[in-house]
């Protein structure tokens, strides 16, 4: 029998959707381009917020399991100036509302919570088309097709489902991360490890920044942020080990323990340009189809994307369960709440308040007045 809901994409949004549907006794099939759960590295740490991502995990009945994968101590946070001065240093005292997990662990948790066979691996969607009456046909790169009464695009930034609803395409946001990893940092990269501390480290500069997380064990994952046109990055060969010193040149005069996060990379350099859809992206209701997560509201990394994708998944599932036999009302309910929820980028003041309450530290305020803070958050 045809599953009730056809989901494209087994990212965090699509998987929460499938899980919460399952809890309500509603069948779903998730079609995923990757050949297997381990086909692609899943990226670094995610802080899962008590006001969105954790609510989704609660709806998925997975909060206790989530607690088991939280990396203890990683809510520690410090800000450094480019010369290496620590202007703010907060230990993880266990009271923060943004516990950190490895993205792969979170995805694994969700995958394990689905009935076997829910995710159909290695099924890359090539195109979709309306058949009328709210039905859609999904065409795969392998030549196969499926038809469905309820199609959900959870297929991220470059969604193949989005064109059914909107002409919007992601645009380059003017900045990119260059990612590096430093392994065994406490023994092999001591100065950098001390600079990063136990959790997140942010060293913002003018149109640039060095940000890092301490991942599981003593792996450091750094995000080197640069505001440059795409053509500037095109001129750098990121497959060449010399790319690290080229990027480090942009940080001449910065403290060596910070630039070590570039020059001492154990993983080479990976370029990640930031793209976004127009803020407040929305569409008119189209029968039988909707979007969750980045497919609906991609923005350059701001610490909310994965959290919002999961909340979308949970809320859409709840809306579908609340309106048995009335797909259109369910999708309208979901979109009515989702559009405003995702139409605003959190402001720096909101971030500061969520981290420090009414009393942000003085040195930090001065640094941030000169330089806007950057992710990771």
Residues that bind ligand FAD (CB under 6 A): 8-14, 31-34, 46-47, 124-125, 154-156, 160, 177, 272, 293-295, 301, 303-307, 309, 376
Q: Is 202 left (phi over 0), alpha (psi -120 to 50) or beta?
A: beta
Angle (deg, nearest 10), helices 12-23 and 103-112: 30
Q: What are the CA-CA distances from residue 176 to residues 27, 81, 375 (Å)?
A: 39, 20, 11
252: number of Cβ within 10 Å: 7
CA–CA dist 216, 177 (Å, integer)? 21
Q: Phi, psi at residue 170, to the nearest 5°?
A: -65, 140
């Amino acid at each position: 029998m045809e599953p009730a809901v056809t989901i494209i994409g087994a990212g965090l949004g699509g998987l929460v959707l499938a899980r919460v549907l399952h809890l309500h006794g509603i069948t779903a099939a998730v079609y995923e381009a990757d050949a297997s759960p381990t086909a692609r590295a899943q990226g670094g740490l995610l802080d899962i917020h008590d006001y969105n991502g954790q609510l989704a995990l609660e709806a998925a009945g997975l909060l206790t399991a989530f607690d088991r994968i939280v990396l203890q101590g990683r809510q520690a946070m410090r800000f450094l100036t480019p010369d290496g001065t620590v202007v703010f240093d907060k230990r993880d005292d266990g009271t923060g509302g943004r516990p950190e997990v490895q993205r792969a662990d979170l995805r694994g948790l969700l995958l394990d919570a689905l009935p076997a066979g829910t995710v159909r691996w290695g099924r890359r969607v090539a195109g979709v088309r309306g058949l009328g009456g709210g039905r859609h046909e999904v065409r795969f790169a392998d030549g196969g097709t499926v038809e469905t009464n309820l199609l959900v695009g959870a297929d991220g930034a470059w969604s193949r489902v989005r064109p059914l609803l909107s002409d919007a395409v992601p645009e380059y946001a003017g900045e990119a991360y260059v990612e590096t990893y430093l392994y065994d940092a406490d023994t092999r990269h001591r100065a950098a490890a001390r600079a990063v501390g136990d959790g997140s480290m942010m060293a913002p500069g003018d149109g640039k920044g060095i940000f890092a997380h301490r991942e599981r064990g003593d792996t450091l994952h750094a995000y080197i942020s640069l505001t440059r046109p795409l053509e500037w990055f095109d001129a750098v060969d990121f497959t060449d080990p010399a790319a690290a010193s080229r990027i480090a040149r942009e940080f001449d005069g910065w403290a060596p323990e910070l630039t070590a996060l570039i020059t001492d990379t154990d993983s080479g350099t990976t370029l990640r340009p930031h793209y976004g859809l127009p803020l407040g992206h929305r569409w008119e209701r189209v029968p039988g189809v909707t979007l969750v997560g980045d497919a609906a509201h991609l923005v350059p990394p701001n610490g909310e994307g994965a959290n919002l994708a999961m909340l979308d998944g949970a809320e859409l599932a709840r809306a579908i369960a609340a309106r048995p036999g009335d797909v259109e009302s369910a999708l309208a309910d979901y979109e009515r709440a989702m559009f405003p929820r995702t139409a605003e980028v959190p402001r720096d003041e909101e971030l500061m308040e969520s981290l420090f309450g009414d009393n942000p530290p003085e040195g930090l305020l001065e640094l941030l007045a000169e330089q806007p803070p950057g992710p990771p958050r």
